[in-house]
Amino acid sequence: MNLSPVNSLLKGALLSCLTAGLFAVPALQAESAPLSSSETTQPMQATDTDNPFFEPSSLPFQAPDFSAIRLEHYKPAFLRGMEEQIREIEAIANNPEPPTFENTVEAREHTGAMLLRVSRVFSNMSSANTNPELQAIQTEMAPQLAAHSDNIQLNNQLFARVRTLMYSDAANELDEESRQLLTRQYRAHVRAGANLDEAGQARMREINGRLSSLATQFSENVLNTSRERAVLIETREELAGLSDARIRAAAEAATARGHEGKYLLSLTNTTRQPITASLQNRETRRKVWEASAFRGLGHDGHIDNRPIILEIAALRAERSELLGFNNFAEFQLQNEMAGHPDAAYDIMLNMLPAVKANTRAEADAITALMRADGITDELQPWDWEFYAERVRADQFNVDENEIRPYFELERVLHDGVFYVMEQQYGITFEERFDLPVYHPDVRVFTVFAEDESEIGLFYGDFFARDGKRGGAWMSSYVVQNRLKGELPVVVNVLNIPKATEGEPQFVSLSNVVTLFHEMGHGIHGLFSNVRFPSLAGTATPRDFVEFPSTYEEDWAIQPEVLRNYALHYETGEPIPLDLLGRFLEARKFNQGFDTFEYIAAALLDLDWHTLSSSEIPTDAEAFERESLARHSVDWSFVPPRYTSGIFNHVWPGGYAASYYAYLWSEVLAADAFEFVQQSGGLGSEIIRHYQRTVLSSGGSRDPMELYRDFRGQDPTVDALLRRRGLDPTPVN
């Protein structure tokens, strides 16, 4: 449930031109002409006339023309796009006229258009619909794009112009958004090493090139290791507890891999595996959990990410020290709301006592059920999900199977997510079928404002499949900006298990919440109303960007919203009030576990990135154990949400030293949601005020100023504690 971390391939290109897109953007495969192995092994040479990236798309909203894009188009577009942008940058840097905001800072917003077109599409393809050929292009282009970024940020003449403007009297006369853009460009130069001497800049180039290659390799390994470690089950009896539909899906997956008569269980991207909640066979649960937990660690000859982790950590530390920081976390958080790693540590460590108390109480309840089942050994991580569901069933009289028929995807989407968007912001979604998509499962909607004017396009890619990385994310093909008169084109990508043919498409509660969460990111992009593309939509600090998405989550379980979409898929009857009440109460159980596993992963991330270059360990697994023990979060039955070997947010992604951001943003989200409820709730004018202040401003203003303008005061953690069931204090 996140915005997509910047794809390592795209990162250099986006940084170099400073356009909006702190996050990656989805992909493509022409629906009308899918790539076959014969087409990809002998790529054609694209010409000026047939490469769709060479000119802006002629489709509505400049949506990518997936029907025209082929594998052989990417590399020529990358190469020409970089050449084109360097010429544009050189023209700005060597302009004989004195630097002005218009001929230097604003002029850069017009550079790199072709490179952005191909980067946004390719980045999404490599996340949502990849294949070995795309991975090969990614591996080849990543260091070239990193070098391209360095060629811009370390251009001495360009930096001199930006620095002159930064410290000129003219800067004080700029409007707030223009000052923000100037400041971003200046800081990007400095943080890239523009103030270093020649030797320092040369070393920065070496580090950046190597990091881009390592990040690409890590991402590919994580994708491949989930496939490699999928669990093959011999007999149907070992799958007791799963529905017939899920067992059929597992059989089909095994057959597709050449294991006729067996069953294959795929893995989600987290350490915990939701399927263990249903598996009655404890040994099967153990196999699934261990396959997940030991991914990327080289056990039993499997894929090994440990050398990559150690090298990335060392290079990040060295790069930060070159720039005058003690470690990478200090460097990374300089531009975040937290400002310093100490602030990130504080928010998590201050919550830990309450979190651990809740988790211990949950563990005691689970252990009691295990003992009643005759299990006398210690609680294990593969027991937790299964017995947590049992506790819910016993204490709250809630059965997941009793709830499931009320969460059918189309109703959740139209009568839940879209309904809430209309009630809050007056927008509507109209599905269209005239635009090409990169996979048959992808859907496209035009988004209309209350006055029926078009806001932008929304793509939904909801189902899990081979070639799609785990998790969920939002990104953009086109970002809103008034400079070029462009409207947004955004996409939400999820990994909902697809029902077998003829079965109803139910959605788990966690995926229901994810649909709301990712739409929160989506409207952050759709409602953007800024002049400059670099500041549009989600181009905000990491520890702010999850605020709008987390805020939307709570609407998923508001009774008035549930009554609108939680309807029985056969009868259309609303979910019974008694079941609804028990269901909402049952959600409070397991909040200790959920928070504990998240904080453990976030602390691990910070610990890796507060190391100096001389402190990098030689044993990644030993360091992880020491980190968890140091913070007293080394409870064997609650492992971190992500272990180091599969921590895709952190090693290749944009959440390095920033995984804490979800909790930081949740403080804002919980405080904001509680304030909205006190101010009238769904449909209240305060929500339109939130839209105007927060959602429309993108990164054009300081995020805390935006929050204060909306809320009237700084946030507190009280609402967060109540949201997670960690504080019984009622709302006044």
Burial class (CB in 10 A: 0-12, 13-18, 19+), 723: buried
What is the share, in percent, of the chain residues with pLDDT greater than 90? 80
Q: Which tens digits make up the pLDDT trace of 337-347? A: 999 999 999 99
Is the distance from CB of 533 to CB of 20 less than 8 angstroms? yes
Among residues 408, 518, 624, 674, the one annotated as catalytic is 518
Can you give the pLDDT at residue 269? 84
Phi, psi of 430 (to 5 degrees): -120, 115
Q: What is the pLDDT of residue 690?
A: 98
The enclosing H or E element of 477 equals strand 473-478
Structural domains of the chain in order of their starting residue, each with its CATH number: 8-39+48-222 (1.10.1370.40), 227-291 (no CATH)
Question: Higher-confidence residue: 465 or 330?
Answer: 330
Length of the chain: 732
Q: What is the pLDDT of residues 642-674, one digit of tens each?
A: 999 999 999 997 899 999 999 999 999 999 999
What 3-state DSSP class applies to 318? helix
Tokens of 25: 């953007």
Give the other-Cβ count within 10 Å of 549's Cβ.
Answer: 27
Instruction: Output the pLDDT for position 731.
Output: 53
Tokens of 116: 């952005």
CA distances from 523 to 455, 516, 551, 557 (A): 10, 11, 12, 19
Active site residue 389: no
Which amino acid is it at 10? L
pLDDT at 301: 86
Percent of the chain with pLDDT over 70: 92
Residue that has been written with the tokens 């890619």 in this structure: 461
List all residues 6 or more positions away from 399 whose beta carbon is below 8 Å from its beta carbon: 393
Residue 629 φ/ψ region, left for φ over 0, alpha for ψ in the -120 to 50 degree band, beta for the rest: alpha
pLDDT above 50 (res 539): yes
Question: pLDDT tier at 727 (50, 70, 90 boundaries)?
Answer: low
Query: pLDDT digits over 348-365, tens only?
Result: 999 999 999 999 999 999
pLDDT at residue 588 greater than cutoff 60: yes
pLDDT of residue 402: 85
With left for phi above 0 and alpha for psi between -120 and 50, is residue 361 left, alpha or beta? alpha
Arithmetic mean of pLDDT, 306-330: 98
Tokens coding 566 = 């939680």
Stretch 425-450: mean pLDDT: 98
Residues 6 or more apart from 438 whose CB is under 8 A from it? Answer: 26, 27, 28, 29, 30, 31, 66, 125, 128, 129
Other CB atoms within a 10 A radius of the CB of residue 680 amount to 11
Look at residues 624, 725, 603 and name the one whose alpha carbon lies nearest to residue 293.
Answer: 624
Which of the four pLDDT bands, split at 50, 70 and 90, describes residue 584?
A: confident
Helix %, strand %, coil % of the chain (to 5): 55, 5, 35
Given pLDDT bands bounded at 50, 70 and 90, which one contains residue 4?
very low
What pLDDT is recorded for position 226?
81
Strand partners, 436: none
Task: Grade residue 728 by pLDDT with cuts at 50, 70 and 90.
Answer: low
